[in-house]
Amino acid sequence: MKNDDIIENVLQCGKEGVKQNIMEALDEFCDEYADEMYRAVEEIIRLRDENAALREQISKMIMPLCTLGDTLYITSFCFGDGYDEAGNATHTCGWQISEAKVDEKNFYKMCDLVRNGIAFFSREVAEARLAELKGDK
């Protein structure tokens, strides 16, 4: 609206008419703004939920398989040399389960052993795996 039109409108409508025009314009603006705000809030909620799902996926991808202080049970095939009670040399071999604590020095190695199905978080699971390896099932 031009200044002349505004002046003419004020003179024709009077003070109450101008108030009414302002209120109507303000209501229209508020309705449009409220709709826009509502759509923005819906989009924020959608993105927040999508973000949470993506964060969970990422954490599963990069989350270490073990943590410092965990006790792992490792299945392995070992060879051993020793002596019997009579002093004769002995050679042994076989499957075994060894126990190890995860610390700063072996952290990545232990995570790899878990990832590759060689180390387990319980002796029972390690024993079941060992039975499979031996063919005892």
4, 25, 29, 136 from 9: Cα distances, Å: 9, 14, 20, 98
Q: Which of 52, 51, 72, 57 is nearest to 114 (CA)?
A: 72
Give the pLDDT confidence score for residue 64 in this predicted structure: 66
Which tokens is 103 given? 């610390």
What percent of the chain clears pLDDT 90, i.e. is strictly above it? 31
pLDDT range class, residue 72, cuts 50, 70, 90: very high
Please provide the size of the chain in residues. 137
Q: What is the mean pLDDT of residues 112-117?
A: 89
pLDDT tens-digit series, residues 12-65: 777 777 777 778 878 888 888 888 899 999 999 999 999 988 887 776 666 567
| Phi and psi, residue 63, nearest 5° | -70, 130
Give residues with Cβ within 8 angstroms of 107, minimum separation 6: 64, 66, 68
- Residue with token string 């952290």: 107
3-state DSSP call for residue 48?
Answer: helix
Q: What is the mean pLDDT of residues 87-102?
A: 83
**Using CA atoms in the order 115, 128, 126, 63, what is the torsion angle rounded to 10 degrees?**
30
Give the pLDDT confidence score for residue 94 in this predicted structure: 78
